[in-house]
Structure 1
Amino acid sequence: MKTYRRQIREKILQALYTIEIRDTDIDSAAGWLLTEEILADPNAMKFFNMLLKNIKEHMEEIDRYIVKHTFNWDMSRIAIIDKNIIRMALTEILYCEDIPPKVSINEAIEIAKKFNSTDKSSKFVNGILDAIFNDLKNEGKVHKNGRGLIDQSVTKLQKVEGEGENPESAS
């Protein structure tokens, strides 16, 4: 079955938006947004539930990263759509080991273009996510495994760098 990750991200964004403007919980807000296709796809539902669960559990931590990187901006001044796109992408970067960070950032940019709260939303989202990602990577807080992901890339780079060294000259 086909997975609907972009659609799921958009539905979760809509749910996050809903809870900011209405008095409702995220599960209720997200539940009524799901399509029959997503509901019928076990992989899609697994991704939906995992992403939603991690956003709920880690929102305070994620918001601290956003605050740290939005100098002179109060969280209430950041457009609701942009803030929630950043939250969702950071959740993927930090808690979805199988999704490359660049994919999460690119998806966030594309969703920001679609739901643009301002004409500069995609640039704002990109800039904030890039800054946070670089800090997280430097702090060793991004743990990814698999094809095209960070840990594998670092290991491959270390192997390539090590191949050019002469073991006898190292002593």
Structure 2
Amino acid sequence: MSQLKRRDIRIKVMQVLYAHKISKDPIEKVKTDQLSEIKEAENVEFANLLIDVILRNEELLDEIITSKAVNWELERISIIDKLILKIGIAELMYFPEIPPKVSINEAIDIAKDFCTRNSGKFVNGILDAVHEELRKDDKLNKTGRGLLNLKKKEKSPVYNKLESPDKE
């Protein structure tokens, strides 16, 4: 397979998380099965890190989604919408090199491709609210390319350090 784009990697991450949730198979087995076609080391590393970050912070990500999804119970939100939101929020919070605009736009486009016709708007609303809260609370931790399109006052010196995922 030719080199995959980051969007393709995000879609693969969504598919891994979905397969894991539905099948209840161990995550390592699902990752081995689903990520085998990714050949580039940096893409494999990004996919694995994104999956690990989401799984290690799933409770927090659910709380964030619940707090922003006004008049929606978490159980009423489709599995795919939730997974796309978790990918977007994880990128906003734990991937300082990815610009917020990229994370949000990628999530919206994936939602439009894989979910209902209103999912893009729903995902946009939630991620925009999360982005705004992180910015307002000076917790939007971006470096390098992640600083693109941020106003000077939005650049934060604070960093959310994520422990490296446990190897099981």
Q: TM-score range by the shorter chain?
A: 0.7 to 0.9
| Cα offsets for 1:36-59 (capped at 9, x unmatched) | 3x1x21111121121112111111
Q: Which amino acid aligns with 1:100?
A: P
1:100 deviates by 0.4
1:26 deviates by 2.9
1:25 deviates by 3.0
Unpaired runs of 5+ residues, structure 2, are 156-168
Q: Aligned to 1:73, what secondary structure does the other structure show?
A: coil
Task: Give RMSD over aligned pairs.
Answer: 2.3
Question: For residues 79 and 152 of structure 1, what CA distance do their matches in structure 2 show?
Answer: 31
Question: For residues 125 and 80 of structure 1, what CA distance do their matches in structure 2 show?
Answer: 13
| Cα offsets for 1:53-95 (capped at 9, x unmatched) | 2111111111111010012211110011101000001111101
Query: Which residue of structure 2 lines up, in the alignment, with residue 12 of structure 1?
Result: 13
Q: TM-score, normalised on structure 2? A: 0.82
**Greater Rg by CA:** 1
Question: For residues 152 and 129 of structure 1, what CA distance do their matches in structure 2 show?
Answer: 16
Q: Is the 8 A contact 2:97 2:146 kept in 1?
A: no
Q: Which amino acid aligns with 2:83?
A: N
1:148 deviates by 5.6
Query: Which residue of structure 1 lines up, in the alignment, with residue 132 of structure 2?
Result: 134
Count the aligned residue pairs. 154
1:12 deviates by 1.0
Higher helix share: 1
Query: Which residue of structure 2 lines up, in the alignment, with residue 166 of structure 1?
Result: none
